Chains A and B, each alone.
Chain A
Amino acid sequence: MKQKTDVLQGTLALMVLKTLDVLGPLHGYGIARRIEQISGDLLAVNQGTLYPVLLKLEQEGAIASEWGASENNRRARFYRLTRNGRKQLQVETKDWEQTAAIIGRFFDAKAEDLS
């Protein structure tokens, strides 16, 4: 059986920010579902690990939270992206793309390219 990918905390935070950016204010369960859907079940984390990340982001001021009513009228805590968070997301997206591009180039490189 293929091992499911470990998710680094930083990556999880980035996913949370992107999710909130795309979908707008969302509660913890919604965020967890969205991350699962996008990653196509390749990435199954314990959903509980999400909450410390949310707290950390809130303390950093990237997101804010307040109580609200969910779609089926349950009380839920909604998280939304702050202006700081949006900035942070832009920066980190750029960083991530750069890193990915560099790593990608390394994987594409063949021996004869370097000679």
Chain B
Amino acid sequence: MKALRRFLSRLGHFVTRRRDDERLRQEIEEHIAMQTAENVRAGLTPIESRRQAMLKFGGVEAMKQDYRAERDLLFVENLLGDLRNAGRSISRMPGLAAVIIISLAIGIGVNTTIFSWIQMILFQPMPAVTGASNFLLVEPRSDTAGYPGASWLEYRDLQTHVPALRDIVASQMMPFNVGRPGQTERTHGQLVSGNFFSALGLKPAVGRFIRPEEAERPGTESVVVISYDYWQTRFRGAPEAIGQNLRVNDRELIVVGVAPKDFQGTTPPLKFELWVPATMTPALLGGTRDLEDRTSRGFSLIGMLRAGATRQEAQSELSTTMAQLARDYPEASAGFGGEILSFREAPRGPQRLLISGLAILQGVMLLLLLAVCGNTANLMLARGSTRQREMAVRVALGAGRWRIVSLVLSENMLLAVLGAGLGAAFAVWGTTALRIAPMIGAFPILFPTKVDQFTLAFAIVLGVACGLIFSAAPAVHLARLDPQDALRSGSNTSQRSRGRKVLMGVEVGLAMVVLIAAALFLQSFHSARQTDPRFRPEGVLLAAYDLSGRNPDDASEREFAARLLERLRSLPDVEAAAIATNVPVDLHGIPRRPFTVEGRVRAEPGQDRAISNTVTPGYFNVMGIPLLEGNDFADMRDKAAPAQAIVNEEFVRRYLNRADAIGRRLQTRSQSFAIVGVARDSAYDALGEPPQPAMYFSYRDRPAEQGEIHLRTRSGSESALTAEARDVLRDLDPMLALYDVRTFSQHIERNLYLRRIPARMFVVLGPLLLGLAAIGIYAVVSYAVARRTREIGVRLAFGATSGRVVLQIIRENLAAITRGTAVGWLLALVISFHVVPNGPVNFPVFLGVPAILLSVATLACWIPARRASRIDPVEALRHE
């Protein structure tokens, strides 16, 4: 309390700058006058009286200083003084300051950008929804089926039986065909429960949201809420959009409202445009009975805890309810439990994929920032040492250690904060650049990253941390300065230069790690582009169709695929056509299925899994994958042939010991297939991957709602087929839209997109880091030789050749650099083994990068060394 009052009084003084030195002066005068009068009364002469009075009072100036120390906020005044001083001294070294600020800004900017992604995934999983991270996922789970989602009826039960959660919300992702017949456009939306918008706490931008009663009775209310972007692009943001009709899956829906700006649904980064009451499902999906079927699981549930309730309560209520449902509906719910999970524990979805990759990237970039700090520390140390004399004078005049440290600290902090500010600006630019990501795969994706207060705080914390890190060495060094020693000319102590050399070694080591990581990454990226995929992507057009809006059965799916292929093959420019459920080198990967095969007994527990793709006859022809043994699948309309499978070479090698595969039985999901052929290995997940075992099944045996059409063109310009393919599909069913049309080369390029962002980062950062390391080495060496000018002069005077001098300087410095390089190299090797266990060591990278780094380092040593060796010995000896 007392301390606070004193502080306030001082603060008041500091702010108003009221100088009551005058009051003190008057008081002292009065005091001495009174004492003098007293002394005169005691019989002294007036002059002696005044002398005695002043003696008794003591040192006026010392007292005044004490008085001022009591009165003012010395700390703040010193700080302001230091900052002014720092500003001046930075403006005296514009080149050095620019190097430091820009390198810090890049380091901090990159880290902040990556952090904004991580922060979005962890803390703001749903843009435009306040408190989104408070929502919990409600996930039914069984040992055999994993996390398949909830059925509609299950959702209704959970809504009433888990009181710890208020307002559980259900949503299901659904692709819609929007528009008149023949001109439909595939648009992604969500089927939602009636409380969807109210529970998320959203306010409509225009109009209203879905009313709870509109999601009660099936198929009565034909309403739709559209996204803000959709409103802007399709309705030009006109308020008249409300009340208009939108034709969705061949049904007229009334637009009742527009969702708030930035809201993109409940499973970011997926971006949805339409929200329709879940009860519209039968009307929109050709009379499906999904809503009454407890085995039809597809809804994602989220809910927020009721005030005062705990996650444990919610979990136990959920478990009880799920157990009850399992007893009541054994055919649909037996074996199902439930889990309450937070967003960041999401068992499925794209967020999971992203977070680990981002974490690695962040780690590498923090290392880079550390290297930048080391570099800056070295530069400041070298510079600080040239100021030893200045500091020594300050200490000799009575400046305290802390004053010296704060002087250095304020200078470095100013640099760090400037760097952080510029870095934050970089991050703002970086996040907006990354936002504009194209549609990846069949799903519309938007990363709602932005620089907000958390990211800014992160940038500032990084900046301050950097400032502290690179201030520490010079500050300690200068504060320990012995003024006598430093003022004596030509003094040199080996201990200090050792500190700088260690720092130089550490920095080079860090540069080594990051450069190797960058090189490995770039190399894998480039080799991935150039490796033979072992199929022929050139001349192939890909396009997708989806029958899910038509509620098809197996027979109709099979028939549709067969007719589609017949029509496509009849096009003059089509050389071959096929349909498959999966396309290789897809961002989402190809599913793996457990199986058993005749002739294979698994020694260890668990199941064998292999890549699985379902294709039509003719697929291998289109893809240019030769069948090494056996035949292609039977015709689509062949009803006599048994269920068939084709496996690849690697499958035969790994599971059948290269024995004859044809005719063996393959079982998966309790269905049995006869192996009729062996296909050559090709790339499945990524170009350049090691061979993976794969199984192909026939569309004839396992038809699917969705299909990827593969068309091989005769003429070579595959994209010219787009219009014809669209016409064919429209003729077959006017309500169906061909979507995700792309050439195979585009498909591959697009799926390299996410890899391309870090690749570009490395392309910029690698040389930058190399440059930084070179500048750091140069600074240290040139400083060291400058201090040894006299010694070098003596040696030259005694007849040493300049070549020997240069060699010796290089040798001394290169020793520290080599040690750092070796440690960094080993670290990089360990990391690479950790990331890619059993992978081959990439010799070109692990030999080439050190070679480049060491040559650059040698050059950075050579330039100052050579300059020093050219000095005239007479000059050097005169050097102070």
Contacts and interface: CB of A to CB of B under 8 A. Distances in A.
B296 interface: no
Interface string B21-57: 0011011101101110100000000000000000011
A32 B28 CA distance: 12
Contact of A46 (B10, B34, B58): B58
Contacts of A61: 2, 5
B59 interface: yes
Contacts of A29: 30-31, 34-35
Interface of A is mostly: helix
Contact of A47 (B58, B69, B70): B58
A60 interface: yes
B6 A70 contact: no
B140 to A, nearest CB: 67
B67 interface: yes
Query: Closest 3 interchain pairs by CB?
Result: A46-B58, A48-B63, A48-B58
Interface in B674-697: none
A70 B30 contact: yes
Interface string A43-85: 0001111011001100111000000001010111100000000
Contacts of A25: none
> Chain A interface: which size bin?
20 to 34
Contacts of B660: none
Given A56-B6, A59-B10, A49 B26 contact: no
Interface of A: 27-29, 32, 46-49, 51-52, 55-56, 59-61, 70, 72, 74-77
Greatest chain B CB density within 10 A among A56, A59, A60, A61 is at: A59
A81 B820 CA distance: 68
Contact of B58 (A28, A49, A55, A75): A49
Nearest to A61: B5
Contact of B5 (A28, A59, A74): A59
B27 A28 contact: yes
Contacts of B56: 46-47
B70 A52 contact: yes
A74 B28 contact: no
A48 B60 contact: yes
B70 A49 contact: no
Contacts of B26: 75, 77
A57 B526 CA distance: 75
A75 B9 contact: no
A56 B34 contact: no
Given A48-B57, A48-B59, A51-B24, A59 B30 contact: no
B31 A32 contact: yes
Nearest to B6: A59
B66 interface: yes
A28 B69 CA distance: 19
Contacts of A60: 2, 5-6
Nearest to B7: A59
A28 B31 contact: yes
B30 A27 contact: yes
B30 A75 contact: yes
Contacts of A76: 27, 30, 34
B71 interface: yes
A76 B35 CA distance: 13
Nearest to A58: B9
A46 B67 contact: no
29 contacts: A27-B30, A27-B31, A27-B34, A28-B27, A28-B30, A28-B31, A29-B30, A29-B34, A32-B31, A46-B57, A47-B31, A48-B28, A48-B63, A49-B58, A49-B66, A51-B24, A51-B67, A52-B66, A52-B67, A52-B70, A56-B6, A59-B5, A59-B6, A59-B9, A59-B70, A60-B2, A61-B2, A74-B30, A74-B34
A72 B35 CA distance: 12
